[in-house]
Structure 1
Amino acid sequence: MVVRSLSRDSSTYLPNVEDRKSLIDVSEALSGFAQSSFEGVDARFEGMASQRDFPIAVLKVPGQEDRPLTRELAEVLLQVAEQLSKGKAVLVAPCDTRLTTQDAADMLGVSRPTLVKLLESGKIPFTKVGRHRRILLSDLQQYARERHGENLRLFDELAADENPYDTLENPLVTKG
């Protein structure tokens, strides 16, 4: 597993071919755990969980203290395992991580000069550290969500303007 760090508190995980098979197994195990273990959770669970001998799933890592495998942690691990098993990179970082302009541009899939134009136009907030710009990961994600939503609205508008009867041989339109 290749690890690249954007900052001290973040890591990007890139799976290699050997790791993908084991990640698929982990993904399948966690999906079974997540589906079967959390269906029908109600107030009775609270009473059972408070008992001293109640079994709790734990995450064991050699050399570290055991951690309870909560529902939230199981869901996160499941998502990470699914993406890694598909050969995709996964970034694990706190939302208050500050990115360089190059890291932010890479995450958006744009050039650094294009990102700088977005920053200077006020579309993405940033701070300056000396002469360097820094972008909060959460602000970058917010911009990406807004841009995605705007693109979807534009596609919907285009689709609404299109008359399907203008197309001579549209297989989706039946003449009747």
Structure 2
Amino acid sequence: MTVATLARPSVTITDELRAEAAEVVEQIGDERFSGVTITTETGKSIQVPAGLAEILDSLVHRMEQGGRVVLESMPELLTTSNAADVLGVSRPTLVKLITDGKLPAVMRGTHRRVRWSDLSAFRQAREAERSDAINELFEADFGGE
């Protein structure tokens, strides 16, 4: 069986693209993309599903902010080293999260693997906890009596 792979050229975020992203962000303000219509080179138009529109929204906002934007694919099962890199923690810290039952993992032979979906949910929950803690600090009365 022959497998064909369609390769897309990489895109460099130029100052011009960043300016275009800034213009889009300025026009939509605090609103998020709820729908996006794409027109192909031949004029065919399609409505992008909401999930993909959310990704495009995030991409445009990150482009507008500057810095490097990287889009890469990840396998569904990650090694503990890869999962630790995604979370920005050491491998031993990640293994402790697994052994403490805070992060699910599956065994493949003698090796632990972390599902991308579990890692993503864990990361989102951790970010929400941090955000809540920061909000509590801001709301606390630091001025005394």
Offset at residue 118 of structure 1 (A): 0.6
**Matching residue's letter, 1:60:** T
- Match status 1:111 vs 2:90: yes
Q: Cα deviations across residues 88-141 of structure 1 (Å, max 9, x unaligned)? A: 4344558x8222212211111101111011111111001111222211122112
Match of 2:57 among 67, 78, 98: 78
- Match status 1:143 vs 2:137: no
Offset at residue 61 of structure 1 (A): 6.8
Aligned length: 129
Say which SS state the counterpart of residue 110 (structure 1) adopts. Answer: coil
For the pair shown, the structure with the greater C-alpha radius of gyration is 1
- Match status 1:97 vs 2:91: no
CA contact (8 A) 1:127 1:134 kept: yes
CA distance in 1, matches of 2:38, 2:131: 41
CA distance in 1, matches of 2:129, 2:86: 18
Q: Structure 2: 5+ residue runs without aligned partners?
A: 1-9
TM-score by length of 2: 0.61
**Matching residue's letter, 1:145:** Q
Say which SS state the counterpart of residue 89 (structure 2) adopts. Answer: coil
1 or 2 for the larger relative contact order (CA 8 Å, sep ≥6)? Answer: 1
Q: Structure 1: 5+ residue runs without aligned partners?
A: 1-13, 40-55, 167-176
TM-score by length of 1: 0.52
Q: 1:138 to 1:26 in 2, by over 3 A?
A: farther
Over the matched positions of the two proteins, sequence identity in percent amounts to: 30
